[in-house]
Structure 1
Amino acid sequence: MDSENPLKTPVLVLGATSLIGGHLLERLKADDLDPFAVSRQPPAGDACWIDGDLRDPDISSHLPPAATVFSLSPIWLLPAALPTLKARGMERLIAFSSTSRFTKTDSPDAGERAVAQALAGAEAAVEAWCVENGVAWTILRPTLIYDEGHDENVSRIARLVERFHVMPLSGKGEGLRQPVHAADLARGAVAAAHAPTTRDRAYNLVGGETLTYRAMVDRVFEGLGRTPRSLPMPTWLFALLMRLAKPFYPGATAAMGVRMGQDLAFDSSEAVRDFGWAPRAFHPRF
């Protein structure tokens, strides 16, 4: 902990049951903090957990006073809650967004384009409001988040591998990826909250190495103790396969295949410089 810039307390974590939430709460408690955690589905019997929904017009009646707020909820829910958070004492905000605001802008899938637009609009709204109201903000944009057995990115690949023992690829799967672990993001969020240089800045947070989509899939096979068995196929055939699979896997889209050949790589050098961002290499274990 930076003794010249201690984390302002009390601390509030929004969306605490999200993928990063459990890791963040553990990290804060390890720093001898007792954060309040907000979720629509809080665990029973824990006084530090609060049943709350940012879309609830009466959310103010649920929130305790807090000087530092970590927002893990979808960032488009945050702007409407900012006045309430400020009224409850917020001075410092660390909010998660996503690099999807860039990678899905030109997606062939209308739903994905809408997500990119929502992310960008919410980021702009959060920044503008915080500047006008004297709240120091930091926005963190992770790339592909994973947490073995819990996420819907890498762990979804693992489930497909376990079921079918092979992973179809659209084309050669040469698009670059930088998977980042949820626990590393939790550690990075706390480090960013302590660092004075992160105030009023946004950062892209990538994993510890850059590898092709196919190499990422091979690592998933290895993490399951299996020999990699990828199945490259023409893009049109992969798109057809996704259409056939949609009743069984609602998230399956042709856009997934398009992205397998795209480089979704970013630069985290500013995060390394400003708060010591140092994520692990990609070697998942299931």
Structure 2
Amino acid sequence: MLLITGITGHTGKFFLQELINNNYSGPIRCIVRESSDTSMLDKSELKIEKIYGDLEDSNFIEQSLIGISTVMHIYNIHHSPSIVEYAIKNKVERVILVHTTGIYSKFKYASEQYKIIEKQVLELTQNSNSLTKITILRPSMIYGDLCDKNMSKFIKIVDKLRIIPVINDGENLIQPVNARDLGKAFYTVLISPDQTIGKSYNLSGDKPIRMIDAFRLISEGLNKKVYFFSLPIGLGVFFARIIKIFTVGRVDYVEKVQRMGEDRAYSHDEAFSDFGYKPLSFKEGISIEIKEYTERVGKK
């Protein structure tokens, strides 16, 4: 039996769609919350068992893993050590963990916890003499529809503002990945254990793109005339620190601003080599999201 966490989330629903498209025939247990919209699960015609619970509850995790052979853990990297610990106890054969390329950031907050988590996972598998095998998938900046927390914000900014500041001329590289590509990659990894067990993969977008060029593609897609001006990163960090001081730490964008000047481009060559991962171009992917946005705004 396959256990899935995060199936009703942003990338989870695209993974679910791949299971549907490929007529996945095995039994599936999905961990969901009482507040989750499970209508897509209910209409899927897959062999799904829904269980309601909280991944903060270790007893619930242990019980949910009884009778499970494979785990696809999409929801929240911070639960990975507990998932792996109880997977080992329950003799689960395989665990696929969805983590993040944020682990490569040079800034402490963005990477330190992710490194600790992956170290804990590695230690659990090495110290237990377990037969449980791990695969780690690291998506880059995720976008794809208006539920994402990245490009959807940029689309709204470009639509509402005519003058937009960009850090250091927007020269930093990003490599956003469309959630549709992640859904396909998750499914392909699931059905390709021989090629992917014991490995880690970056799941990034097609090619790196400068931040300023991403903004320009969005403005072109919205047919909006926008003017960009460069904000030195030092000045941006200064303003972020002022805001943090005045809000007594409640609003802390310091590191987010710092990362705006950091290249976030990651090769996915190994994923292409092992399981044929070939993501959409950013131009194609962002056009889908812009279309969804304009249709929604037009209906209001």
Name the TM-score, length of structure 1 as normaliser.
Answer: 0.83
The residue number in structure 1 matching 2:94 is 92
The question of 1:136 aligning with 2:133 is answered yes
Name which of 20, 33, 36 aligns with 2:11.
Answer: 20
The question of 1:145 aligning with 2:104 is answered no
Residue by residue, what CA displacement relative to the aligned partner does 1:60-103 show, whole Å, maximum 9, x if unpaired?
Answer: 34556321211112222121233433455621211111111111
8 Å CA contact retained: 1:222, 1:228: no
For 2:85 and 2:185, locate their aligned partners in 1 and report how far apart those are by CA, in whole Å. 26
* 3-state SS of paired residue (1:58): helix
The residue number in structure 2 matching 1:116 is 111
The residue number in structure 1 matching 2:163 is 166
8 Å CA contact retained: 1:139, 1:203: yes
The residue number in structure 2 matching 1:259 is 259
1:20 Cα shift?
A: 0.8
The residue number in structure 2 matching 1:212 is 210
Name which of 194, 210, 232 aligns with 2:230.
Answer: 232
Relative distance call for 1:230 and 1:14 in structure 2 (3 A) is same
For 2:242 and 2:161, locate their aligned partners in 1 and report how far apart those are by CA, in whole Å. 15
8 Å CA contact retained: 1:166, 1:230: yes
Amino acid aligned to 2:37? P
8 Å CA contact retained: 2:158, 2:224: no
Identity %: 26
8 Å CA contact retained: 2:8, 2:38: no
Gaps of 5+ in 1: 1-9, 108-112
For 1:256 and 1:51, locate their aligned partners in 2 and report how far apart those are by CA, in whole Å. 34
1:44 Cα shift?
A: 5.5
1:269 Cα shift?
A: 0.8
For 1:256 and 1:230, locate their aligned partners in 2 and report how far apart those are by CA, in whole Å. 19
For 1:245 and 1:228, locate their aligned partners in 2 and report how far apart those are by CA, in whole Å. 26
The residue number in structure 2 matching 1:55 is 56
1:265 Cα shift?
A: 1.5
Correspondence 1:1-80 to 2 at 5 A:
10-33=1-24, 35-40=28-33, 41-43=35-37, 46=42, 48-59=49-60, 60-62=62-64, 65-80=67-82
The residue number in structure 1 matching 2:293 is none
8 Å CA contact retained: 2:154, 2:215: yes
The residue number in structure 2 matching 1:5 is none
* 3-state SS of paired residue (2:262): coil
* 3-state SS of paired residue (1:95): strand
Count matched residues: 268
Name the TM-score, length of structure 2 as normaliser.
Answer: 0.79
For 1:159 and 1:252, locate their aligned partners in 2 and report how far apart those are by CA, in whole Å. 21
Relative distance call for 1:252 and 1:264 in structure 2 (3 A) is same
Residue by residue, what CA displacement relative to the aligned partner does 1:97-150 show, whole Å, maximum 9, x if unpaired?
Answer: 1111111xx32xxxxx24412211211222332353111211011111112211
Relative distance call for 1:251 and 1:28 in structure 2 (3 A) is farther
8 Å CA contact retained: 1:169, 1:238: no
For 1:223 and 1:11, locate their aligned partners in 2 and report how far apart those are by CA, in whole Å. 40
Gaps of 5+ in 2: 43-47, 291-300
